[in-house]
Amino acid sequence: MKLELRGITKRFGALVANDHIDLVVEPGEIHCLLGENGAGKTTLMNVLYGLYQPDDGEIVIDDVVQHFAGPGDAMAAGIGMVHQHFMLIPVFTVAENVVLGNEQTKGGRLDLDAARAQVREIASRFGFSVDPDAVIEDLPVGVQQRVEIIKALSREAKVLVFDEPTAVLTPQETDEFMAIMRQLRDSGAAIVFITHKLREVREVADRITVVRRGKIVGEAHPGASDAELASLMVGRPVELTVHKNPPTYSDALLEVSGLTVSDPGGAVLVDDVSFAVRGGEVLIVAGVQGNGQTELGEALAGLTPATGSIRLDGVELLGRPVRRVLDSGVGYVPEDRSTDGLIGSFTVAENLILDRVSGPPFVRAGALQLGARDEFARRAVEEFDIRTQGIDEPAGRLSGGNQQKVVVARELSRELKLLVAAQPTRGVDVGSIEFIHKRIVAARDAGVPVVVVATELDEAAALGDRILVMYRGRVIGIVPASTPWDQLGLMMAGVAPEGTVTA
Amino acid sequence: MSAEQTTAAQPLQHKVPEPGDARWREAWHRIVSGTWAVSLGAVILAILVGSIMIAATDEGVRAAIGYFGSRPSDTFSAVGKAVGGAYAALFRGAVWDFHASTFATAIRPLTNSLTQATPLIAAGLGVAVGFRAGQFNIGGRGQMLMAAIAGGWIGSALNLPPVIHMLVAIGAGIVGGAIWAGIAGVLKATTGAHEVIVTIMLNYIAFYILGYLLATPGLLQAPGSSNPKTAAMHPNAIMPPLLGPKFTLHWGFIFALAAVALTWWLLERSKLGFEFRAVGENPAAARVAGIDVKRTTVAVMLVAGGLVGLAGVTQVLGTTTTGFGDGIDAGVGFDAITVALLGRSTPFGVLGAAILFGAFRAGGATMQAAVGVPIEIVQVVQALIVLFIAAPPLVRAVFRLPQPGSGPRRTTSAEVAA
């Protein structure tokens, strides 16, 4: 089945999200749609899926013009979509989710046996296994994604759209996902793969179309270099690795010893972790997601009860409430900006002072100082290049990269004694990654100890001076940032490097 | 953060500045696509549906429908007469008595409406503060009763100098309401007990405490009486009339207006209100930002209860000063929820909505007395307002207001799951 988009235009008020986009997807190819966050990729796919009506242009399948009034029509025409945020019902089983909206009944009763058989059949066709009776919320994210794929395939989808599918996956899961995508292609499906991660594009794409600001700016060869792709995407040359000098250490010091975090059920998530970070260096905390890095970051910010000791310049932080941890000069960039970092309905200005209302300059005698707030917000927007209509725009309306810049701006414009950043560039476009990395390095060069939790090895290598690898809550080792990736990969899988000791 | 929002927002960055008339158009667009237009539309729709019910229950209309085939015009004029008469009576009872001979009597209905609005303003603010902070305070009734007990006891049993007596009684009522709501806040913060359940239960407890106090000689019951009713308030404790003894409007209205201003300042300009709103919108982010969510939860309920408590004392010290029974809350605690919804949980919105509802209360009685339309119609209209506010797309469709955005997020989850 051949899919063609001809001159698709979608406007939101005065804003053109898609500007005469032409796209052809042939069966048996993986067509990458590459672009920064907010370039209009998702809007385009929502038009294709019938969620938006295009203002102009047409969707053509096998030379027949289609009119999709809703996702039902698109599905019937053979288009399947795997969304960035999964559309699964957490308390239903795999089989129930797969048949949802397309239920087969036998004598008025749901025929779940047929659904189970279908799940097994599709899974075995692509060489992975999914228990049809497993409840979704018990499954890891990577498996949930496979359920989405099975769901699409069970409706005979011939065109599969993957919207940023790897944003939530670990490196291993990503590799497995790539393999599944290749299999789907080889079975004759047409695949649209939306992403902004360059490495993945080069790995699987047969064709690459680059979108920028709602327009197609060109096609690229799968053999193109990262730098070429990035500059096409952003519209200017981009530095993919941050230039940084060897660390110049200051007297500041973060000492963590015997740090242990348990969940309410008693499971140990961070197990007797000890390390030290000197002012002027970046320590990366790496590991496959779910090995305790997140909890370690939260413990440093005082968000999780923990035992052991966290001493910043000799002062014990452990056991202090969050407010006092922040007041001691700890800047914390949480892992998930939309739930923990920002209040979507608050304005940019309000978000920029969110954790700074404990006293002057933004609060005096219990009253907010709007003048000081707005002046600060204008400066921060300028300095951190936050693309917004104004400081009064709700933060939830900004693109992901700009939301992250708001969080980073807030945390970095305080008087810092320690910076803890958890996945500071997750879901952020290339241009913003470069910027955020530069700002973190600037904080390091100012003599602040920096701890960055990273799941991407690129980020670990780009930012770090040393890398601490965690596995099942324990420190596997602390190694220099120059350590080869295959060794880091082994450490992340739990294999302690020979001859290394905790540095 | 949904990808759809991202896409919609991004192109704003390279938006060109627009000429003047386009800016006005955009401003108008913002007004009509905002929630205020929906509130107004909901009120209009509810009144229209109310007219259908008035017509349907009217004797004259029913008689005329009997010979609709031969003389349809009779039916239409009967409908017009019934609906017009009812709403004219409502207007006469709520705003301006056009039958009156002097200005003072003509304007009296409006002042009655404001008197009725007074407790609705204060209690509406209490519910609205809860809404803004993510808490559903259904305990307005219990908080008002506790405020009435505290304020009523001070007002009837003590003997203090003028003004001071009133202020002490008001203070006691506010504290009474605050403590009663604060119980729900503390339970939520410490044990996670849901405030809806707790406040509802506290309503019953307050009701029966008041019943006990009213029925037991030597407590709140008027001395020498066996009725479940308190003694009259001491003259020094009574909120003086605002426009002289001919009008019911009292100083409680001024206190309610002051509460509107204070609540606005609290929510929009104070650190405490900032924390209230932050916790209400996103407690996770508030916690990461160092806001003590539990303490804020308790503070929200204290403030909300205090405002509802003010409503309770204006009843006791302003409206029913000759002693009160267990019906002193007059349903205000529940109407306050509607008022807060209609007012979009903003202080000035609550003020407007409370005055509208006060007018309904004041005019409903006149409507029943003058044209025999049951007062329940007014309550149905109030209920319909809530119903329409809960369904903004319906209101927008009826009045052809632009739907905000295209609601991609909701469509996505609903339709994809379907």
**Per-residue three-class SS string for B186-202:** HHHHHHCCCHHHHHHHH
* Contact status of B14 with chain A (Cβ, < 8 Å): yes
Pairwise CA distance, residues B232 & B247, whole Å: 19
Query: Tens of pLDDT along A229-245?
Result: 888 887 777 766 777 88
Q: Are B248 and B112 in contact (CB under 8 A)?
A: yes
* Contact status of B322 with chain A (Cβ, < 8 Å): no
pLDDT reported for residue B416: 32
Kindly determine whether residue A16 and residue B11, on different chains, have CB atoms separated by under 8 Å.
Answer: yes
CA distance to partner chain B, nearest, from residue A276 (Å): 24
Mutate which of B13, B282, B288 to test chain A, going by most A C-beta atoms within 10 A? B288
* Contact status of B403 with chain A (Cβ, < 8 Å): no
Q: Which of A148, A152, A203 is nearest to A34 (CA)?
A: A203
Dihedral angle at the C-alpha atoms of A61, A67, A68, A72, nearest 10 degrees?
A: -70
* Contact status of B415 with chain A (Cβ, < 8 Å): yes
pLDDT reported for residue B28: 57
> What kind and span of H or E run contains B384?
helix B376-389
Kindly determine whether residue B411 and residue A51, on different chains, have CB atoms separated by under 8 Å.
Answer: yes
* Mean pLDDT, residues B164-193: 95
Kindly determine whether residue B278 and residue A15, on different chains, have CB atoms separated by under 8 Å.
Answer: no
Mutual angle of helices B140-157 and B195-215, in 10-degree steps: 30
Kindly determine whether residue B275 and residue A357, on different chains, have CB atoms separated by under 8 Å.
Answer: yes
Chain B: residue whose CA lies nearest to A213: B11
Query: Tens of pLDDT along B213-246?
Result: 998 888 888 888 888 888 889 888 999 998 888 8
* Mean pLDDT, residues A323-330: 93
Kindly determine whether residue A357 and residue B270, on different chains, have CB atoms separated by under 8 Å.
Answer: no
* Count of residues in chain A: 503
Kindly determine whether residue A17 and residue B7, on different chains, have CB atoms separated by under 8 Å.
Answer: yes
Q: How many CB atoms lie within 10 A of CB B348?
A: 13
List the beta bridge partners of residue B303: none
Q: Which of A51, A89, A346 minimises the CB distance to B408?
A: A51
Cis check for the bond before A321: say yes or no (omega within 30 of 0): no
Kindly determine whether residue B5 and residue A396, on different chains, have CB atoms separated by under 8 Å.
Answer: yes
CA distance to partner chain A, nearest, from residue B403 (Å): 12
Pairwise CA distance, residues B165 & A80, whole Å: 73
Amino acid at A222: P
Whether A503 has a pLDDT exceeding 50, the answer reads no
Beta-carbon contacts of residue B244 (< 8 Å; ≥ 6 apart): none
Kindly determine whether residue A43 and residue B269, on different chains, have CB atoms separated by under 8 Å.
Answer: no
Give the lowest-confidence range in A189-198, B161-170, B300-309, B390-399: B390-399
Q: Which of B10, B14, B287 minimises the CB distance to A399?
A: B10
* Contact status of B272 with chain A (Cβ, < 8 Å): yes
Q: Which of A237, A75, A60, A45 is nearest to B408 (CA)?
A: A45
Q: What percent of chain B has pLDDT over 90?
A: 44
Burial A70-91 (b: 16+ CB within 10 A, else e): ebeebbebbbbbbbbebbbeee
* Contact status of B412 with chain A (Cβ, < 8 Å): yes
pLDDT winner (highest mean) among A6-20, A241-255, B169-183, B327-341: B169-183
B236 exposed, middle or buried (CB, 10 Å; 0-12, 13-18, 19+)? Answer: middle
Sign of CA dihedral A177, A178, A184, A186: negative
Chain A: residue whose CA lies nearest to B411: A51
Q: Which of B1, B4, B272 minimises the CB distance to A46?
A: B4
Q: Name the H helices within A126-275.
A: 141-154, 171-186, 198-204, 226-234
Q: Which tokens sit at B49?
A: 């549906």
* Contact status of B408 with chain A (Cβ, < 8 Å): yes
Q: How many CB atoms lie within 10 A of CB B157?
A: 14
Query: Tens of pLDDT along A7-59?
Result: 999 887 777 888 899 989 999 999 998 887 667 888 888 888 888 888 889 89
Beta-carbon contacts of residue B144 (< 8 Å; ≥ 6 apart): B119, B123, B177, B308, B309, B311, B312, B315, B328, B329, B332, B333
B138 phi, psi to nearest 5 deg: -95, 0
Beta-carbon contacts of residue A445 (< 8 Å; ≥ 6 apart): A244, A245, A248, A280
Kindly determine whether residue B405 and residue A52, on different chains, have CB atoms separated by under 8 Å.
Answer: no
Q: Which residue has the tokens 């060794």?
A: A487
Q: Pairing state of beta strands A268-278 and A253-262?
A: antiparallel
Quote the DSSP letter at residue A278.
Answer: E
* Mean pLDDT, residues B280-297: 93
CA distance to partner chain B, nearest, from residue A406 (Å): 13
Average pLDDT over all residues of chain B? 85
CB under 8 A, 24+ apart: contacts of B369-374: B370/B85, B370/B89, B370/B92, B370/B93, B371/B82, B371/B85, B371/B86, B371/B89, B373/B54, B373/B57, B373/B58, B373/B82, B373/B86, B373/B89, B374/B57
Average pLDDT over all residues of chain A? 87
Pairwise CA distance, residues B300 & B303, whole Å: 5
Pairwise CA distance, residues A148 & A501, whole Å: 43
Q: Which tokens sit at A324?
A: 């006092």
A118 phi, psi to nearest 5 deg: -65, -45
Kindly determine whether residue A14 and residue B269, on different chains, have CB atoms separated by under 8 Å.
Answer: no
CA A33, distance to chain mean position in Å, is 17
pLDDT reported for residue A40: 82
pLDDT reported for residue B296: 96
Kindly determine whether residue B9 and residue A398, on different chains, have CB atoms separated by under 8 Å.
Answer: yes
Kindly determine whether residue B10 and residue A51, on different chains, have CB atoms separated by under 8 Å.
Answer: no
Sheet-wide strand order for A282-286: A330-333, A418-422, A450-454, A282-286, A466-471, A474-480
Give the lowest-confidence range in A173-177, A495-499, B134-138: A495-499
Q: Which of A101, A326, A363 minimises the CB distance to B417?
A: A101
Find chain B residues with C-beta within 8 A of A71's C-beta. Answer: 415-416
* Contact status of B205 with chain A (Cβ, < 8 Å): no
Residue A127 vs residue A321, higher pLDDT: A321
Q: Which of B88, B81, B74, B92 is nearest to B58 (CA)?
A: B81
Pairwise CA distance, residues A460 & A467, whole Å: 7
CA distance to partner chain B, nearest, from residue A39 (Å): 7
Kindly determine whether residue B6 and residue A370, on different chains, have CB atoms separated by under 8 Å.
Answer: no
pLDDT reported for residue B21: 59
pLDDT reported for residue A502: 46
Pairwise CA distance, residues A55 & A11, whole Å: 7
* Mean pLDDT, residues B288-309: 96
Whether B209 has a pLDDT exceeding 80, the answer reads yes
CA distance to partner chain B, nearest, from residue A396 (Å): 7
Amino acid at A493: A
Amino acid at A478: I
Percentage helix, strand, coil, to 5, in chain B? 75, 0, 25
Q: Which of B6, B18, B289 minimises the CB distance to A38?
A: B6
DSSP-assigned states of every residue in A292-330: SHHHHHHHHTT-S--EEEEEETTEE-TT--HHHHHHTTE
Size of interface A-B (CB pairs under 8 A): 152
CA distance to partner chain B, nearest, from residue A473 (Å): 22
Chain B: residue whose CA lies nearest to A370: B269
Amino acid at A188: G
Chain B: residue whose CA lies nearest to A390: B13
Kindly determine whether residue B287 and residue A400, on different chains, have CB atoms separated by under 8 Å.
Answer: no
Amino acid at B134: G
Q: Which residue has the tokens 């300009």?
A: B269
pLDDT reported for residue A363: 92
Q: Which residue has the tokens 């497995």?
A: A176
A5 phi, psi to nearest 5 deg: -110, 125
Kindly determine whether residue B9 and residue A14, on different chains, have CB atoms separated by under 8 Å.
Answer: no
ipTM of predicted complex: 0.79
Pairwise CA distance, residues A194 & A165, whole Å: 8
Mutual angle of helices B347-371 and B35-57, in 10-degree steps: 10
Pairwise CA distance, residues B122 & B173, whole Å: 12
Pairwise CA distance, residues B10 & B374, whole Å: 55
Could you give the angle at the alpha carbon of B233 between the alpha carbons of B229 and B236, nearest 5°? Answer: 175
DSSP-assigned states of every residue in A452-469: EEES-HHHHHHH-SEEEE
Whether A417 has a pLDDT exceeding 90, the answer reads yes
Secondary structure class of A29 (helix, strand, coil):
coil
Pairwise CA distance, residues B405 & A396, whole Å: 14
* Contact status of B161 with chain A (Cβ, < 8 Å): no
CA distance to partner chain B, nearest, from residue A484 (Å): 35
Find chain A residues with C-beta within 8 A of B416's C-beta. Answer: 71, 81, 83, 87
Chain B: residue whose CA lies nearest to A40: B7
Kindly determine whether residue A339 and residue B275, on different chains, have CB atoms separated by under 8 Å.
Answer: no
Give the lowest-confidence range in A251-265, A351-365, B29-43: B29-43
Chain A: residue whose CA lies nearest to B291: A323
Q: How many angstroms separate the first and last alpha carbons of chain B? A: 22
Percentage helix, strand, coil, to 5, in chain A? 35, 25, 40
Q: Which of A14, A163, A339 minimises the CB distance to B3?
A: A163
CA distance to partner chain A, nearest, from residue B338 (Å): 23
CA distance to partner chain B, nearest, from residue A179 (Å): 25
Find chain A residues with C-beta within 8 A of B8's C-beta. Answer: 12, 15, 17, 43, 397
Query: Tens of pLDDT along A335-358?
Result: 888 889 999 889 999 999 999 998
Q: How confident is the model at residue B409 (pLDDT cuts 50, 70, 90)?
A: very low
* Contact status of B235 with chain A (Cβ, < 8 Å): no
